[in-house]
Amino acid sequence: MRYDCGEPHSELVVNFNGPKPTIVCLCGSTRFRDVFEQVASAETVAGRIVLTVNEFGNDGHPEKAHLRPVGPAEKERLDELHKRKIDLADEVLILNVDGYVGESTRSEIEYAQTYSKPVRYLEQVQER
């Protein structure tokens, strides 16, 4: 489901006598929390506004056993919320650490492409 909030988000950025900063949405597996934090910092220093994951819960993956449990309904709600961040973004940056792209991230890539959002990748995508 795609929400139409009326005005384009660029209307929300006040003119501060310079170019409008690019808004980038980070997408990837939440098992890579450290990478999310490092990339968010680097993108911010590069002058971009960063929308990112803010909840790193355990949705059943062994690598996340130490995190707060997230049930299926909550995961679905968080995935949909992240797509709203994609709606706000000018581009999407996929954190494909070691080439890994999970089901949720694939869904976010498809969503971004459906709405003509440029998608870039942290690591070079291997041809199959």
Residues recorded for the chain: 128
Q: Which pLDDT does position 5 carry in this prediction?
A: 46
Q: What is the pLDDT of residues 29-39, one digit of tens each?
A: 888 989 999 99
Answer whether residue 85 shows pLDDT above 70.
yes
DSSP 59: S
pTM tops 0.75: yes
CA 76 to chain centre: 15
Pick from 40, 47, 57: nearest CA to 95: 40
Q: How many domains does the chain have?
A: 1
Between residues 20 and 116, the one the model is more confident about? 116
Flag whether 66 is in a domain: yes
Q: Is residue 24 part of a domain?
A: no
- Domain span holding position 90: 49-95+114-122
**CA proximity to 28, closest of 56, 69, 8:** 56
Beta-bridged to residue 121, according to DSSP, are 94
In a domain, 74, yes or no: yes
